[in-house]
A = this chain, B = another copy of it.
């Protein structure tokens, strides 16, 4: 018998998060013991590990839900899976591009800082429209 705490340890997902996943229907409600404790099985460990890996790869819970559904239907073509992964890759690439632009802007702002007063601070100046 695997309790919630053990499931948490086995998968690296916090107890509260497991409850949250159960609440939103990502995990099926497990059997209960006589004392009303959740009793998980190896299936649950597997499923939750799947969720964790997908989350680590940046998939949204909604995408994870879809991936789980797809994974259950083993005879189906994996085009849909590929599509989700590609969408995720694209999102990641866009995010990286955005952050690189940000990094450049921040970097040049910081470089100009000469440690004077706020009045002639380049960073504040760059943020302010004309005169603060």
* Residues of A bordering B, CB below 8 Å: 45-46, 49-50, 53-54, 57-58, 67, 70-79, 81-82, 85-86, 88-89, 92-93, 95-96, 99-100, 102-103, 105-107, 109-110, 113, 115-121, 123-124, 126-132
Contact = CB atoms under 8 A, between A and B. Distances in A.
A115 to B, nearest CB: 6
Q: Is the interface of A mostly helix, strand, loop or mixed?
A: helix
A53 B46 CA distance: 45
20 contacts: A45-B129, A49-B129, A50-B132, A57-B105, A57-B109, A57-B127, A58-B99, A71-B124, A71-B127, A75-B118, A76-B118, A77-B115, A78-B115, A78-B121, A81-B113, A85-B106, A85-B123, A89-B103, A92-B102, A92-B103
B76 A117 contact: yes
A96 B100 contact: yes
Contacts of A116: 77-78
Nearest to A64: B127
